[in-house]
Structure 1
Amino acid sequence: MNNLTSKQLGSTTGYAPSSSGARDSVDYIDIHRVLRGLRRRIWLLIFVAIAAAGAFAGIASLQEPQYESSATLMLDPREQRALGNQTQVVQHLKLTSPIVDSEVAVLRGQSLQMRALELVLGDPELARRYYAIDPALQPPGLVDRLQSIASSALSQLFGSAATAGPEPIAEPRDESADLDGRKKRILGVLRKGLSVHRIGESYAINLRQETADPELSATFANALAAVYIQEQVENRRKTMEEVTGWLQVQVDASGRELERAEEAVRDFRVADSWNSKDVLRQQLDEMKVQIAETRADQVTKRAWLQTVASLADENEIMVIAQQQGSSLLQQLHNELEALLREDVRLSSSLSADHPDRRNLAVEMARLRANIDDAVLSYSAGLQSEVEVLHLREKDLEVEIAAMDHKLEQLELTDISFRQLERKADAARISYENLLARLGEARAQVTFERAEAKVIDPAEISLVPSSPKVKLMAAFGAALGLSATLIFIVLREFVSAGFTQANELENHFALPVLGSIPHVRMKKPFAVIAKMNMDRFSPLAERVRQISAILGQKNKSGDTLTMVVMSSLPDEGKTTTAMAMAYTYASFDKRTVLVDLDTRCAEAMPALTQGTGPDLSSWLEKGGDPSACTYPSQQGDFWVIGNRNGAGNMVPPPSRDEIRALLTELSKNFDVIVVDAPPLLVLSDGLAIAKEVDHILMNVRYRKTAKQSVATALALLEKVGERPTGLIMTMTDAKSEPQAYGYGYSYGYS
């Protein structure tokens, strides 16, 4: 009977998979489903975000405050005069990105940082504060304390079995090695908070130090910058001294070569009896030597004149005075410094308009003018000497040219003599060039200047740079919010059960007759009270929808029989069966609810009163089962089942008994709703399924696993049965876009 009816219902009502199932592939994401899940758990999102923000803020507030100080170095982008190898003794070196990056690497070097640490340790007060950050002096951390507790517990546990040996003899400590190790540990702490980087594409380098002591951060950053500049000056002076020494060797070698070349020329003249020309040639040689010395002196004087001008611009008067040996300049400079100190002293008590300070200002102006006049006089003297040397060079050039012309007129020089002469000239030119460059190098040695300067020294910070409690709180809130969002989205899609009717239809190719929303109830029979209270609630409408689809009679016009079953317990089958019976009774149909879940009978005890015969009595004695039916106190339908309730182990009826029971009941009732036990727990439902018109399979929203439903359907298929349709129970009304509710009110006058 059931096979025919179910097939006819499936073919006539046309319950094919939903048309929207075409887009429900594995790659399809239902945005509305995700949004509904987020809306249901909005308070969870807020709670987790607030909790994470509080946790991160609490962790950040427990951390020790750190203070940051930064110093900025500027590399001099101007071209510097530098001395190179033998092939190019003087060259221009421009700053490029690789050179700036190399300087950054030098500042990051451990050796330079150790020198900076030793510099600040020279101050006893600072040394005490730096030694305080030695990791060896810090209290043990949480991990160390746990290890100590574990070691102590183990020693107490096994101490009785251990034999105490002699105490080890303490070896003498090497204080120098301990001091070096202490410095290395302190430097390790400082290096963790040190950052050296180039500022963009500029020539500026930023040194940023972060420690728990603001003064340590500032002093170490400034010390590192000072040591770097000092090392530059030392390296520059050392390089210039080395190059000057090398140039001196080259000048001496070139001078000896020049002497040999000139001696060869003289020997050639003697050998060829050029005695008549010896005086002329000797004079020519002397003039050439003189012009070489004149040029060398001129180059040296010009270099010193430029150095004096640079020193005067930078107010290095004492250097000029020391090089000049002028007691007048030294006296004027000392007097000016004394007046400056006196003016500083008076400035604390007298205003700038006070006569004493104005007199001091006049006197200082006079001294500055005298110093400027002395420097200008000295520079003018140097300029005069350079001009005299230049004029002498020109005169010697004229005389040499005249004598060369005269010699050319006197004789025809042979090839050998010309070769010797050219060799001597080449040696002379090389000697002159080297001599001139030696003068430049000596001038640069006396003028020491670093290629970098501090443009922004580090200052003591009064505000901690970390931890940033607000930032950590915001990060924690964002992290908690993100984690919760991911959890909610994954929970929506990684679920063992079903959440949408079309998903259920597409998976099993069975129609979903309806979705019964979740209603909070302590017992299944409370569903009748809920439907009585609001006959147009979503729950009542969904049950009426299912009953309308099934109809009120079978195809032959006889009593309509149906069974409500599920794959596992707690899927709402008893609630569904009671709701179906109540709904059919509201259609003025004589309806009976048959509770055949004999091992967990709930209908009779909950819906009826009395002590008359029940289903177990009919199974024992037979007769008319209508005598064992009782009207429900909460609805217009009848109930038959075991009265003893759940836990009463009553043997299940056989298939023949089930057939006889339904046949007898169909004589007095229009609709028979059977509550069957779960298929995967008891096999009774398979026998019941063979005797009814419709099989309704409950699937609980999100809870019922796909494999459980598939296994239950496979069991029905083995006995030749197929459910009329599926019912999704305990759904979330908010997650269903088609959720609705009606309310009516009538008034009569």
Structure 2
Amino acid sequence: MNALPDPAAMEPVARMPVAARGDDVMDLGEMLLTLWRGKFWIVSAALLTTIAGLVWAIGVADPRFRATAVVVLDGGREPVVEFSDFLPMMTGDATVVNTELEVLRSVSLLADVVTQANLTADPEFNPALRPAGLSDLAINGALDLIGVPPAPPLATERIERRAMTATIASLRDALIVRNVPDSMVFEIALETGDAEKSATLANLLAERYLVRQLETKFEATQRATTWLSEKVAVLEVELETAEGATNQFAAQMELISAETLDILSQQLKEVRDRIAARQATIDRGDSTTRAQGRIDQLRVLEAELSEKIARQSQDLVALEQLEREAAASRQIYEYFLGRLKETSVQEGIQQADARLMSAAMVPEVPSAPRPTLVAILSAALGAFVATIALIVLEARTATFRTADALEMATGLPVMGQIPRIPARRRQNVLDYIRQKPNSAPVEAFRNLRTSLFMAGDAPVPRVIVSTSSLPGEGKTTQTLALAHNLTGVRDKVLVIEGDLRRRVFQDYFGAHDTPGMMQVLSRKAKLDEAVWRNPDLGFDVLFGDEAPANAADLFSSRQFRQLIRTARKSYDVILIDTPPVLLVPDARVIGRLADAVLYTVRWDKTREKQVLQGIRAFETVGVQVTGTVLSQINARGMKKYGYGQDYGNYGTSGYYQS
């Protein structure tokens, strides 16, 4: 097992469980850096969308012309004759303004314009007159293929009704009505594909709006006149009836009045006084026969006067009632007769509650599309889409470009940062390492050796496993370069090819038909007989050969453990190149026999999820990864991402590394 202590003793990086590592949140600084790196794409997208927008605005889109008529409401004008009880009057408050806005957009008003301008014959407003589009042709073709019979023809009346409805809807879409804030001014704008048509329709709509107001008032006046005429005729009959009844009653009765009743009442009082005087004479004992006879005559006269007063009072009350009814009828009749005359006069002098402030002029330039505005919006759209795409792509990439990010995600020290080796073929890798001892890649391997073997008081690892998440991350090149680098500080170094499935070592060294690991495990050859030696390299190589059994089972065998024990006795350092941990379990099995496990992560290629899964796979079998190596760093890419100053010139793209 690992002979090294906790790697935290080698690098001051906090360790954390793998399950808790990683952070998908992109901070503002990183986001701005991402946008700065992608400025070329943002500018290119903005430029392309600007060009596309201008091509559309200038060469493809149909120009639109907007003409505007201005109407002002005269809500405060007083009528010539006051008869607001019968006719609607404009008040000018917000409710009226909003109502008039809706009137200008009303179907009935637009229908008048459609009829007067014959817009149902205009393909711009009547969709039925336009050529069939590709979608319509495709639908009709699909219906013909599946055998759907065509719809029966519609009746002429229904076709006309549909055309009118569609034309009104198109006219409403082309209409723009706006109330100027804090005023009673309306702007009536029409936008069509023809400048003269726009002005004509805007003026026609304003004219129809004013005419509609007059028509509304005329209709109200006519309704009021008709109603008043009927009412006056009825009241005239009622007045004649009331006056006739009064005259007839007065002719049938005696000529009476309140003064006559007063005289009769005075006479009655005098008679009663005389009766009282005569009765007093009788009471004194005077001759009574003559006095009594006189009293009887006076009593007869009293009764006659009383009866006459009662009768005439009743007749007078009835006469006065008839006269009052006749007077009331006359008053009502005269009132409505006066209103009828006022209404008849007003019918000839009606005025609309609005007036045309300025007629629409024929526009000289299109209102849409405006190339400048289209260019600005297109550029903004392109830049926005590119920005979002860059941010989303960056967030979904989740690869490693710096050692800090790798340490933060894994909780393990980054023991080496290896640039790409400028060798396009495997055979040239070792030649480059030997011939360029002061190059940046070779210096990076020296730093890796220092981190691995000179970590303070930690025991020196002797069996080192090199692995990665997936193929092509540079672990094999790293193993061979580290072995070559160790030959200067260690006496004997052995490299074991632990990837028995690919077996690429022979491509590196050009050695074929050489003994391999199976010769040792099957005891057909000893270790020192099976290894391949080259004086120029300074280290020994044990090639992998085709295994008859499963490789993981082979590495778990007692024979392989014995091989490692024998190698420990003969060599100072044993480097084992293993297959990717996410593909096969070989690396985890071999790792149980190692003193250190180096996990290689390819720069800006290996995803964070893959790295964490690989490290977790080692932890599940009790093997602790010693540290990570950030490999195949591209100097040009580092500068592109804004990190080049931290790494120096590590070479250019297009170099081979396995």
Q: TM-score range by the shorter chain?
A: 0.7 to 0.9
User: What's the counterpart of residue 133 of structure 2?
Assistant: 141
User: What's the counterpart of residue 586 of structure 2?
Assistant: 684
Residue 133 of structure 2 aligns with an amino acid whose one-letter code is G
Residue 42 of structure 1 aligns with an amino acid whose one-letter code is K
User: What's the counterpart of residue 451 of structure 2?
Assistant: 549
Q: Distance in 2 between matches of 1:89 and 1:557?
A: 111
Does structure 2 conserve the Cα–Cα contact (< 8 Å) formed by 1:513 and 1:727? yes
Residue 338 of structure 2 aligns with an amino acid whose one-letter code is A
Q: Distance in 2 between matches of 1:571 and 1:549?
A: 20
User: What's the counterpart of residue 290 of structure 2?
Assistant: none
Report the 3-state secondary structure (helix = DSSP H, G, I; strand = E; otherwise coil) of the residue aligned with 1:116: helix
**Match for 1:236 among 210, 213, 217?**
217
User: What's the counterpart of residue 299 of structure 2?
Assistant: none
**Match for 1:70 among 68, 85, 88?**
68
Greater Cα offset, 676-685 or 10-19: 10-19
Q: Distance in 2 between matches of 1:24 and 1:198?
A: 61
CA offsets per residue over residues 293-314 of structure 1, 9 Å max, x none? xxxxxxxxxxxxxxxxxxxxxx
Alignment root-mean-square deviation, CA: 4.7
User: What's the counterpart of residue 656 of structure 2?
Assistant: none
CA offsets per residue over residues 265-301 of structure 1, 9 Å max, x none? 66676635148999xxxxxxxxxxxxxxxxxxxxxxx
Q: CA deviation at 1:695?
A: 0.9
Q: How does 1:400-419 map to 2 (within 5 A)?
A: none
CA offsets per residue over residues 144-184 of structure 1, 9 Å max, x none? 333455567x49xx9xxx9xx9x99x99x977776665555
Residue 198 of structure 2 aligns with an amino acid whose one-letter code is S
Q: CA deviation at 1:642?
A: 3.1
Does structure 2 conserve the Cα–Cα contact (< 8 Å) formed by 1:247 and 1:438? yes
Normalising by structure 1, report the TM-score: 0.65
**Match for 1:564 among 466, 476, 501?**
466
Alpha-carbon distance change, 719 to 93 in structure 1, aligned in 2, over 3 angstroms: closer
Residue 10 of structure 2 aligns with an amino acid whose one-letter code is T
Report the 3-state secondary structure (helix = DSSP H, G, I; strand = E; otherwise coil) of the residue aligned with 1:71: strand
Q: CA deviation at 1:564?
A: 0.6
Q: How does 1:634-653 map to 2 (within 5 A)?
A: 637-642=538-543
CA offsets per residue over residues 199-257 of structure 1, 9 Å max, x none? 33432233222222333222222222222222222221221122123233344444555
Normalising by structure 2, report the TM-score: 0.72
Does structure 2 conserve the Cα–Cα contact (< 8 Å) formed by 1:79 and 1:94? no
Q: Distance in 2 between matches of 1:565 and 1:673?
A: 11
Q: Distance in 1 between matches of 2:501 and 2:21?
A: 40
Alpha-carbon distance change, 417 to 62 in structure 1, aligned in 2, over 3 angstroms: same
Greater Cα offset, 711-720 or 668-677: 711-720
Q: How does 1:359-438 map to 2 (within 5 A)?
A: 426-438=328-340
Alpha-carbon distance change, 716 to 447 in structure 1, aligned in 2, over 3 angstroms: closer
User: What's the counterpart of residue 202 of structure 2?
Assistant: 221
User: What's the counterpart of residue 477 of structure 2?
Assistant: 575
Q: Distance in 2 between matches of 1:632 and 1:454?
A: 105
Residue 43 of structure 1 aligns with an amino acid whose one-letter code is F
Greater Cα offset, 229-238 or 194-203: 194-203
**Match for 2:528 among 625, 632, 639?**
625
Residue 727 of structure 1 aligns with an amino acid whose one-letter code is V
Does structure 2 conserve the Cα–Cα contact (< 8 Å) formed by 1:536 and 1:741? no
User: What's the counterpart of residue 733 of structure 1?
Assistant: 638
Alpha-carbon distance change, 730 to 115 in structure 1, aligned in 2, over 3 angstroms: same
Does structure 1 conserve the Cα–Cα contact (< 8 Å) formed by 2:618 and 2:624? yes
Q: CA deviation at 1:459?
A: 2.7
Does structure 2 conserve the Cα–Cα contact (< 8 Å) formed by 1:218 and 1:458? yes
Residue 255 of structure 2 aligns with an amino acid whose one-letter code is S
The answer as to 2:625 corresponding to 1:720 is no
CA offsets per residue over residues 571-600 of structure 1, 9 Å max, x none? 221132234334434657754443332332
Pairs aligned (count): 582
Residue 41 of structure 1 aligns with an amino acid whose one-letter code is G
Residue 110 of structure 1 aligns with an amino acid whose one-letter code is V
Percent of residue pairs identical: 25
Q: Distance in 2 between matches of 1:149 and 1:42?
A: 47
Q: Distance in 1 between matches of 2:437 and 2:355?
A: 86
User: What's the counterpart of residue 113 of structure 2?
Assistant: 116
Q: CA deviation at 1:640?
A: 0.8
Report the 3-state secondary structure (helix = DSSP H, G, I; strand = E; otherwise coil) of the residue aligned with 2:646: coil
Report the 3-state secondary structure (helix = DSSP H, G, I; strand = E; otherwise coil) of the residue aligned with 2:598: strand
Does structure 1 conserve the Cα–Cα contact (< 8 Å) formed by 2:15 and 2:412? no
Residue 115 of structure 1 aligns with an amino acid whose one-letter code is D
Greater Cα offset, 195-204 or 232-241: 195-204
Q: Distance in 1 between matches of 2:495 and 2:329?
A: 130
**Match for 1:273 among 245, 255, 278?**
255
Q: Distance in 2 between matches of 1:556 and 1:452?
A: 98
Q: Which runs of 5+ in 2 are unaligned?
A: 261-314, 650-658
CA offsets per residue over residues 379-415 of structure 1, 9 Å max, x none? xxxxxxxxxxxxxxxxxxxxxxxxxxxxxxxxxx987
Residue 345 of structure 2 aligns with an amino acid whose one-letter code is A
Q: Distance in 1 between matches of 2:182 and 2:455?
A: 88
Report the 3-state secondary structure (helix = DSSP H, G, I; strand = E; otherwise coil) of the residue aligned with 1:494: helix
CA offsets per residue over residues 709-735 of structure 1, 9 Å max, x none? 455445534543221123344456355
User: What's the counterpart of residue 479 of structure 1?
Assistant: 381
Does structure 2 conserve the Cα–Cα contact (< 8 Å) formed by 1:195 and 1:207? yes
Does structure 1 conserve the Cα–Cα contact (< 8 Å) formed by 2:427 and 2:507? no
Does structure 2 conserve the Cα–Cα contact (< 8 Å) formed by 1:67 and 1:463? yes
Residue 51 of structure 1 aligns with an amino acid whose one-letter code is L
User: What's the counterpart of residue 358 of structure 1?
Assistant: none
Greater Cα offset, 620-629 or 216-225: 620-629
Residue 145 of structure 1 aligns with an amino acid whose one-letter code is L
Alpha-carbon distance change, 237 to 687 in structure 1, aligned in 2, over 3 angstroms: closer
Computing the radius of gyration over CA atoms, which structure comes out larger, 1 or 2?
2
CA offsets per residue over residues 54-80 of structure 1, 9 Å max, x none? 444445542333322222222222245
Q: How does 1:410-559 map to 2 (within 5 A)?
A: 426-495=328-397, 505=407, 509-516=411-418, 522-523=424-425, 529=432, 535=438, 537=440, 539=441, 542-552=444-454
Q: Distance in 1 between matches of 2:68 and 2:437?
A: 73
Alpha-carbon distance change, 30 to 196 in structure 1, aligned in 2, over 3 angstroms: closer
Does structure 2 conserve the Cα–Cα contact (< 8 Å) formed by 1:116 and 1:224? yes
Report the 3-state secondary structure (helix = DSSP H, G, I; strand = E; otherwise coil) of the residue aligned with 1:466: coil
Does structure 1 conserve the Cα–Cα contact (< 8 Å) formed by 2:418 and 2:444? yes
Alpha-carbon distance change, 494 to 82 in structure 1, aligned in 2, over 3 angstroms: farther
Does structure 1 conserve the Cα–Cα contact (< 8 Å) formed by 2:15 and 2:411? no
Alpha-carbon distance change, 82 to 176 in structure 1, aligned in 2, over 3 angstroms: farther
Does structure 2 conserve the Cα–Cα contact (< 8 Å) formed by 1:525 and 1:603? no
**Match for 1:196 among 134, 158, 177?**
177
Alpha-carbon distance change, 460 to 89 in structure 1, aligned in 2, over 3 angstroms: closer
Does structure 2 conserve the Cα–Cα contact (< 8 Å) formed by 1:107 and 1:196? yes
The answer as to 2:226 corresponding to 1:245 is yes
Alpha-carbon distance change, 187 to 88 in structure 1, aligned in 2, over 3 angstroms: closer
Q: How does 1:156-167 map to 2 (within 5 A)?
A: none
Greater Cα offset, 229-238 or 666-675: 666-675
